[in-house]
Structure 1
Amino acid sequence: MALRGRPRSFDREVALNSVMKVFWEKGYECAQINDFTAAIGITPPSFYAAFGSKEQAFREAVDHYTATIGGAPLVALDQASTIQQGIRAMLETHADKVYACPAGGCMVSVSSIQCKPENTQVKEFLKAIRQTSFERIFARCERAMQDGDLPKGTDLTQMAEFYHAMLQSLSYEARDGDSREAIQSIIEMAMRAMPERVTVPA
């Protein structure tokens, strides 16, 4: 059966990556349709046919970001043998990734620092993603307690909140133009707050 309509003249995955970079650099409210069409090389009608609306394009772009570049730090956290190794790997991976965009920073952190009232749903969407990140850090801390990586009585909520806040702080430092070397110094300071691994009796 023949496909209806005119076939798209672009690779949608490549286009989505371009849309992601526009939102990442300009933020949700400053990014305009002409920015997307220029980045992809298509007309506005083709953009709307492919993505539906600016908000739908943004949500899809954020999902793409969190499944690829943005998700790498939490994968590094989960895969490490100890919480001490995991937190360091998470922070250093994040520090590397925040330079993947020329503007710097984490797309989820910087895309909607300020939102107009009519865009509250976008801000809540990003807030939910950040909450999920916090929950993953907290869950890893819980596992670390069970594994003997952390002393009994460690305030896991405070620990997860601290290192989650560090992710956002590193993002803003990169957006402000700090060097990767400067961010590494911040990471080393942050690691001083991490307790040494508890020795588990044989």
Structure 2
Amino acid sequence: MPGGRPRAFDPETALDRALELFWRQGYEGTSLSELTMAMKINRTSLYGAFGNKEQLFRKVLDRYFTSPGAFAAEALEAPTARTVVERLLLGAIELTAGPHTPHGCLSVNSIHACGPDSEPIRQEVIARRMASEAALRRRFEQAADLPTGCDPRVLAQLVYTIIDGIAVQAASGHTRDQLHQVADLALRTLFQLSS
């Protein structure tokens, strides 16, 4: 006997729509009604396919970090620390100020716009960001081109501080050209001692 009715929607498309909405409005700023409307599904289908809002958001985070945010992991494969940082900064500009994405950063918005009821989500985002920063620190520990006397942990923290700043500036309306100027200056400043 065949199972239940087939889904009348594509879960991948629905997830992409949820990602875009959360990215634009943040976790707390997005209601279930807005999600079902954007995803073009009803609440029963949302719960059946993705779980509750928190579970859906965790799936959205997975999608964010492995699809539009995949540049961050890929950048770690670059041959030099300078190239790693360059790819991270340029990737952050495209992610947060590109023509095909909402301006700003999903994870930055989610950390700063969560109230007490959403603390588990905030902690989830922080944990993922800390893991990314730790991966960058480990990559810097292997690099031969770090500036003299530079602590890999502090440099990784500084790079992520710049990336967060790029996201905030993008959300504030700064253009890609303006953000490229910031990235160029950051690279020259960070690696002037090693060139």
Match of 1:57 in 2: 56
User: What is the distance in 2 between the residues matched to 1:181 and 1:151?
Assistant: 27
Q: Superposition pairs for residues 159-178 of structure 1, below 5 Å?
A: 159-178=155-174
Q: For the Cα contact (< 8 Å) 2:114–2:122, is it kept in 1? A: yes
Secondary structure of the structure 2 residue equivalent to 1:79? coil
Quick one: which of 162, 167, 179 aligns to 2:175? 179
Which residue identity lines up with residue 38 of structure 2 in the other structure?
A
Deviation beyond 3 Å, 4+ runs, structure 1: 100-103, 196-199
Secondary structure of the structure 1 residue equivalent to 2:97? coil
Distance 1:166 1:52, change over 3 A: same
Which is helix-richer, 1 or 2? 2
Secondary structure of the structure 2 residue equivalent to 1:192? helix
Are positions 1:132 and 2:131 aligned together? yes
Where structure 2 has 5 or more consecutive residues not aligned to the other structure, the ranges are none
Match of 1:117 in 2: 116
User: What is the distance in 2 between the residues matched to 1:63 and 1:151?
Assistant: 34
Which residue identity lines up with residue 195 of structure 1 in the other structure?
F
Match of 2:191 in 1: 195
Are positions 1:73 and 2:47 aligned together? no
Give aligned pairs, total. Answer: 194
The alpha-carbon deviation at position 191 of structure 1 amounts to 1.0
Which residue identity lines up with residue 163 of structure 1 in the other structure?
V
Taking every aligned residue pair, what percent have the same amino acid on both sides? 29
The alpha-carbon deviation at position 51 of structure 1 amounts to 1.1
The TM-score with structure 1 as length reference comes to 0.89
Where structure 1 has 5 or more consecutive residues not aligned to the other structure, the ranges are none
Secondary structure of the structure 1 residue equivalent to 2:189? coil
Quick one: which of 84, 92, 104 aligns to 1:94? 92
The TM-score with structure 2 as length reference comes to 0.92
Q: For the Cα contact (< 8 Å) 1:22–1:31, is it kept in 2? A: yes
Query: Any idea what the Cα deviations from partners look like across 1:65-115, whole Å, max 9, x if unmatched?
Result: 101111213312x12111111211110111111135654012111123132
User: What is the distance in 1 between the residues matched to 2:108 and 2:194?
Assistant: 33
Secondary structure of the structure 2 residue equivalent to 1:120? helix
User: What is the distance in 2 between the residues matched to 1:151 and 1:127?
Assistant: 28
- Computed over aligned residues only, the root mean square deviation of the Cα atoms, in angstroms, reads 1.8
